[in-house]
Amino acid sequence: MVNFEPQSNLLKQQLSEATNVDGSVNLESFLKLVDHAYLDNINELKQSRDHLIEATNQASRAARVSGMAEVATNVLHNIGNTLNSVNTTVAVLVERFKNTKFKHFDKLAIMLEQHEHDLNDYFIHDPKGKLIPAYILELAKHWREQVPLLSTDLIQLTKNIDHIKDCIALQQSMAKSAGMLEPTDLSRMLDSIIDLQAKEFSANAIKIIKDYQPLPQLMLDRIKLYQIFVNFLQNGRQSIAFSRSNERILHIKIESDHAHFVSISMKDTGIGINEENLKKIFSHGFTTKKDGHGFGLHYCANAANEMGGKISVESDGEGLGATFTLILPYQLVDYGEANAS
């Protein structure tokens, strides 16, 4: 707020100075004074404007940071979840290892070694030796049963560890390549982000329907896209989780006219949005959640703008679900002249 009090006081004081003894005003000195006051005002207004610009910049930096923070939280959450699966799988593997029938395998080898020269006699007449062929058959059966289970566990473990690596790589790349356009396979990218949240979706009994129009790779800012999709998916999931409806579907659509635009929309059967809230939904800090921040959509809207695109929202009202759509310019990968013709 600009405070005009100093100026008006100064004016009053100088007006009295410019007033002659007979009560008439010395116009020339009065105009000078007005000039002064005016200049001071301008300077103060300039200062206020600078403060305002700085505050806006700070707010937009804060929004960017909080948008990133939302993603970082998401990434950490994913890593935490994945580590839980890793722990579970490792516990199962340890248990399998403890109960394996192969732990007496070395004793069997020693017995066979000791009877190396009379194996025939040992297998036929020795009370222990007679048991060995049946024991080997039993071990073989156990092996056949265990191998698929072990390999499933190991595949799961490898997947989980790869997942953790991806999460960390993605988080690291965020800082580096923000603002860079890269050839992007939209459907693949969406799928990998959905995979990251798959557990949460199934925990809330949410079915995902994918309706992807086949597209070539497009030049897109993957980091911004990632942040937008994470926010959309998170909000959609939370909205359905809050809803009591039996219909629990998130419909994800990729569409394009193959010339000007590509659109990605997510339609949920969640709690919906009333008209009043629809107007505020992209404002910084707007949230209806107990533990919400209200930064996500604000950040997404800015990120979409920076990509030359736009985010829109539709909802027929409370209880009627919502659809969030991101529209982006359709920009094909330029493979250069070498590949032309």
Residue 252 beta carbon to ligand ADP: minimum distance, rounded to whole angstroms: 12
CA dist 187 and 168 (Å) reads 21
Q: By C-beta, is 15 or 69 nearer to Mg ion?
A: 69
Under a CB-based contact definition with an 8 Å cutoff, are residues 260 and 329 in contact?
yes
Amino acid (one-letter) located at 11:
L
With CB under 5 A as the contact rule, which of the stretches 150-158, 165-173, 251-259, 295-303 interacts with Mg ion? 295-303
Instruction: Identify residues 47-106 at the interface with ligand ADP (CB under 6 A).
Output: none
Question: Binding Mg ion by CB under 5 A: which of 67, 129, 270, 296?
Answer: 296
φ/ψ (deg, to 5) at 253: -125, 135
Characterize the bridge pairing of strands 310-314 and 322-329. antiparallel
Amino acid (one-letter) located at 129:
G
- In angstroms, what CA-CA distances link 275 with 101, 164, 283, 316? 66, 40, 15, 8
Per CB under 6 A, 309 contacts ligand ADP: no
CA nearest 254: which of 239, 266, 243? 266
What are the DSSP calls for 48-61, one per residue?
A: HHHHHHHHHHHHHH
CA nearest 33: which of 51, 56, 7? 7
Q: Which does 294 bind (CB under 5 to 8 A by kind): Mg ion, ligand ADP, none?
A: ligand ADP
Residue 97 beta carbon to ligand ADP: minimum distance, rounded to whole angstroms: 44
Contact mark string toward ligand ADP, 257..286, x via CB under 6 A: -----------x-xx-x---x---x----x
With CB under 5 A as the contact rule, which of the stretches 151-159, 163-171, 227-235, 249-257 interacts with Mg ion? 227-235
Where are the strands (E) in the chain, listed by range? Answer: 182-184, 207-212, 218-220, 249-256, 261-268, 310-314, 322-329
Q: Which does 216 bind (CB under 5 to 8 A by kind): ligand ADP, Mg ion, none?
A: none
CA dist 10 and 16 (Å) reads 10
Using CB under 5 A, count the residues that bind Mg ion: 2
Using CB under 6 A, count the residues that bind ligand ADP: 22
Instruction: Identify the three-state secondary structure at position 198.
Output: helix
Per CB under 5 A, 235 contacts Mg ion: yes
Per CB under 6 A, 302 contacts ligand ADP: no
Instruction: Identify residues 175-234 at the interface with ligand ADP (CB under 6 A).
Output: 231
Instruction: Identify residues 312-331 at the interface with ligand ADP (CB under 6 A).
Output: 322
Residue 215 beta carbon to ligand ADP: minimum distance, rounded to whole angstroms: 24
Q: Which residues of this chain interact with ligand ADP, rule CB under 6 A?
A: 231, 235-236, 239, 268, 270-271, 273, 277, 281, 286-289, 292-298, 322
Q: Which residues of this chain interact with Mg ion, rule CB under 5 A?
A: 235, 296
